[in-house]
Every structure is written in C-alpha cells, then in structure tokens.
Amino acid sequence: MVKTRFIFVAGGVMSGIGKGITVASTARILKDYGFSVTAVKIDPYLNVDAGTMNPTEHGEVFVTDDGIETDQDMGNYERFLDQDILRDNYMTSGLIYQTVINRERNLGYSGKCVQIIPHVTDEIEKRLMNVAKKSQADFVLVEIGGTVGEYENVLFLETARIMKLKMPDQILFMLVSYLPIPKMIGEMKTKPTQHAVRAMNSAGIQPDVIIARSSQPLDEIRKQKVSIFCNVRPEAVISAPDISSIYEVPVNFEKDNLGKIILQKLNLKSKVKNLRRWHKLVENIRSSKKSVKIGIVGKYFGTGDFILSDSYLSVIEAIKHAAWFLGRKPEITWLSAETYEKTPAALEELKKFDGIIVPGGFGKRGVEGKILAINYVRNNNIPFLGLCYGLQLAIIEFARNACGLKAAHTTEVDSKTNMPVICTMPEQFQNILKKNLGGSMRLGAYECRLVKGTLAYNLYGQDVISERHRHRYEVNNTYRKILERNGLLVSGIHKKGNLVEVIEIPKHKFFVASQFHPEFKSRPLSPHPLFLGFVRASSI
C-alpha cells in the first residue's frame, strides 16, 4: 500500500492567476523527481459537470478519455504530466450534492438527519481517498477552485482541514496568491496576500508554501515580509513572476527549490531528478524564431470589451506543441466568423495566414461565416484543419459548392432542412426531444479505423487510433457516395459503427477534418500527428 500525500492548492486575492498551472507544474516537478503523481480539480459550481457551461464564461470544456466534461485545468494536468487524467479526478459541488441527495433518497443514511457537515465533507473526502486508492499515486494534488474567503469553496477547505487532522504527516497546503504592483504606487504590495492567509487561517488552515504571483519577481524584502506576516518560512515563499510561456513555470519554480521544499516538509527523499526533457522543451520554445501564422475562425472570443482565448485553450496549445516541435514560432490570430457574414470581402484576409483552423462549436451563430471561410481556404489551397463542428461545416460547404446540394445543412441549425448532410443518430434525437442534454453527447474515447494510403493514415502511422469526442450530430451516410464522387475522401471510420470520423481532400495542399477533438490529446512532449501534419504543411 502506497502512503499517498495530498497537496491542497487554494487561491488568494483573485482568480485567474494560474492555480491550475501551479498545480500542473508542481505535479510535473514531483513526477520528474521519480514519484507517481496525479491531480484533482474541484470546481465549486453547482453545475454537475462543465458540459453545460458557456465557454466564454468558464473557458474550454475539456473531455477526458472516459467521457466526462470537465474544466480546462484538467487539460493542463494532462499536458504537464503527460498522462491521462480520468473522471474520478474531477468534482463539482453539484456532483457532490447530487450524490448525497440521491443516497438520502435511497435511505442510504439510515434515518439520520443529513447535514452539510459531516455528510457532504465525508463525500468529498471519500472521493479524494478513492483517487489515492485507485491511482496508488505517491502524490495527489488537489486544486480547490475559486479564492479563499468565498462561500462556495468553504466545504472543500473544511474537508482539507479534516483530512489534515486525520493524516497530519500526509497533507500539505499551498496558497497561490497575487501581489499587485499598483501603477500609482509603483511598489509590490503584500497586504492582500496577508489577508488571504488570514482568511485561510479562519478556515483552520495554515499554508506551508506560498506561491507569490506577480508581474515581477519577489525581492528579498517582500519575501521576508510575506514570511513573517503569513507565518511561512522564507524559503517556502516561491517567487512566481509573469513569464512568456506556461511551460517555463516548472523550471522557474525549481529555481526556488519548490520540489525540495515539498519533499522536506513531507519527510520524503527524492528518488531521482530528471528535468532534462522538460528543459529541452523550454529550450525549443525559446529557440523557435521563424513564425508560422495560424488563424482560428470561431465565435467564442468576446467578453465585453475583452478577447478571451480560453474557450479554445487545447486547440491553441496543440498548435504550439506542433510548431515548437518543428522549430517554428506560432503566431495565432482570432478571426470572427460573424465578420465574414456581414462583409464577405473580409475573407481576403485569410490569404495572410499559413493555415486556418475551424474548431468545435455549437448552434447557429457564426455558422455561415465559418462555411464561407472553409470555402475560401478550399478554393485557395490554404492548409485547413477542421475540428468536430469544423468537420461538419466542411461537409456542408463541400456538399453545397462541390456537389451542387445547395440546400445542404445540419439539423442542428435547420431542423427541417431537406438535405440533412449532418444529422443526429436516433438515440440523440430522443435526448433532444426529452431535453436530456447534460452529459448525453457522444463523449470520450472511441476507436477509429484509418484507411490505408490516406494522409490521415500516413500522419498517424497506424490504422486503429483512439480519439476523444464531444458532439451530438454526425455525417449522414446517405450523402457519402455523392461527396466521395466529387473528390472528398473519408479516411477514418468509427471502428464499431459506420460513422465518418476523418475526411480529407487529396487534391488540396492540406485539407483534413476530424469528427473527434485531437487537441485534447496533444502534449508538449508529444505533439499530435494531425496538428503536426497541419503545421508542417503551413510551414512550407
């Protein structure tokens, strides 16, 4: 039996300062010290999973191999650890309450009054212990979403406190806090962090390590100040300034000996130390100078006056992984599909890019603009990669403009279309009718067989692949023949059913689209073959 250590990571002062990257980077360091590591994300929302959340509000919905819709930080864990993270490692308040209430309805509490403490905290603890048991990991890192002092994550902090009481030598607390440098003062301020630690203390928790996030490195004076006022040894106050690539964070943390400090505090000795591959990655990133210009035609960009790229996080990371691998510097631009609907002349801007991606999406908004963009890149031989909705819209475009099926559409947008080239499978039709919409898409990993001799087959170098899905609609096989007759090639088919999974146009410089989401499986240390092929074609 492995004696698992839990590292709870909470946030102070404000959100969005990189708790997920801190967890992922700390996990990476411990893995490179020779330990087995896994990470858990706790989302304090009442949503049962992330599937129903709008990406412009919550960021990308990341799908695990075993088919649960989760927070984008799960993707960061997978990318940094270079290992799959499964459904047990994600929980929301909604999921916890749902479990407790269902158990109560089944008389699972034998007539007791069911209370938030201990029944809800017990359920959280049970799930965390289950992760430790199943993974047999030396370390389970647990990211508690939100910021200390909020109502929403109190129960998770309470659980962490109880676990520390039960297993004092197995628990470590980290606080990721923000130290602002207000323009009018020009000095880094520690007070908000002091307040965050107070808030944590009032939950019965004392942080062992503070990650001091700021735009600049922490100087000695402020390190001492944070140490004294926050009751943390100065060496355990880790400077975490803004840096250009998130993948440099583990290297930066190690400059302040984060790994060693954690091991000392938990009375562990490092087995090995092998950060070589990670250092090599950072070198690659730094030395990639010649740019490759990729445009993403989407719609989940705007939040008020700001542009948000989190909705397509895995796509962006996958482009970067492939570009760095090829020694290129990725330059990614957001292109709003809706602009092309209003001003088709704007399509000309697509010529400026080395490659265009149409990523996943839902609903009507921006659909015609994306179809126009696909038509433009197909006619102008500009490398194209379509992801999920990107494949479906490429099929519609091809049906309309290469096969003469002018009315071709998806039933998602036009339920009455008489040329439904994209439509639902019967069981999905029932889900839509019954409004059974949460967690009911085609989700998670499915096997796909690639057709020998196709571009997709050559890129993967194997005939059976496994990729992750998140969609309700599929290519309508009734139209396959006419599409193929006009030059579209179906190069990947679902191994069990007869569903189209990958398409390509052999005559084009690079025109590939997949019904699955390859971006979820791209890792910095092993870029995804489809993205590699696409970025390579875009670099010629």
Q: Which residues are annotated as a binding site for Mg(2+)?
A: 73, 143
Say how far apart CA 200 and CA 12 lie, in whole Å: 9
Which of the following is catalytic: 78, 317, 388, 494? 388
| Tokens 């355990």 found at | 236
Q: What letter represents residue 462's amino acid?
A: Q
Which of residues 18 and 366 has its CB atom nearest to ligand GLN in the complex? Answer: 366
Strand order of the sheet with strand 473-475?
Answer: 409-410, 420-424, 473-475
**Which residues on neighbouring strands pair with residue 336, listed in sequence order?**
298
**Bridge-based pairing state of the strands 237-241 and 209-214:** parallel
**Residues in the annotated binding site for L-glutamine:** 361, 389-392, 412, 472
Beta carbon of residue 426, minimum distance to ligand GLN (angstroms, whole number): 15
DSSP 523: B
Dihedral class, residue 312 (left if φ above 0, else alpha if ψ from -120 to 50, else beta): alpha
Joined together, the tokens standing for residue 144 give 């508690």
Among 239, 85, 128, residue whose Cα is nearest residue 177:
239
Nearer to ligand GLN, 149 or 295 (CB): 295
Which is closer to ligand GLN, CB of 225 or CB of 521? 521
- Comparing CB distances to ligand GLN, the nearer of 56 and 83 is 56
**What's the chain's length in residues?**
540
Minimum distance from CB of 50 to ligand GLN (Å)?
13
Which of the residues 469, 494, 508, 517 is marked catalytic? 517
Which residues are at the interface with ligand GLN (CB under 6 A)?
360-362, 388-389, 392, 412, 470-473
Per the CB < 8 A criterion, the answer to whether 399 and 449 are in contact is no
Task: State yes or no: is 517 an active-site residue.
Answer: yes
State in angstroms the smallest separation of the CB of 499 from ligand GLN: 11
What's the rounded Cα separation, in Å, for the pair 12 and 180? 12
* Shortest distance in whole angstroms from residue 347 CB to ligand GLN: 22
- The vertex-121 CA angle with 21 and 201, nearest 5°, equals 65
Tell me the three-class secondary structure of 76-141, residue by residue: HHHHHHCCCCCHHHEEEHHHHHHHHHHHHHCCCCCCCCCCHHHHHHHHHHHHHHHHHHHHCCCEEE
Q: Using the Cα atoms of residue 461, residue 462, residue 467 and residue 473 in order, give the sign of their dihedral.
A: positive
Q: Which residues contact 239 (CB under 8 A, 6 or more apart)?
A: 212, 217, 218, 223, 252, 256
Q: Which is nearer to ligand GLN, 457 or 511 (CB)?
A: 511
CB of 363 to ligand GLN, least distance (A): 7
Residue number, nearest CB to ligand GLN: 360
- The least distance separating ligand GLN from the CB of residue 429, rounded to whole angstroms, comes to 12
Residue 364, number of CB atoms within 10 A of its CB: 10
Binding residues: 15-21, 73, 143, 189-194, 225, 243, 361, 389-392, 412, 472
Give 62 or 457: the residue with its C-beta nearer to ligand GLN: 62
Report CA-CA distances (Å) from 220 to 197, 209, 227.
Answer: 20, 16, 10
Taking the C-alpha atoms of residue 22 and residue 76, their distance in angstroms, rounded to an integer, is 10
Smallest distance, ligand GLN to C-beta of residue 323, A: 23
The residue among 301 and 362 lying less far from ligand GLN, judged by its C-beta, is 362
The two three-digit tokens of residue 508, written as one number: 């084009």
Q: What is the set of active-site residues? A: 388, 517, 519
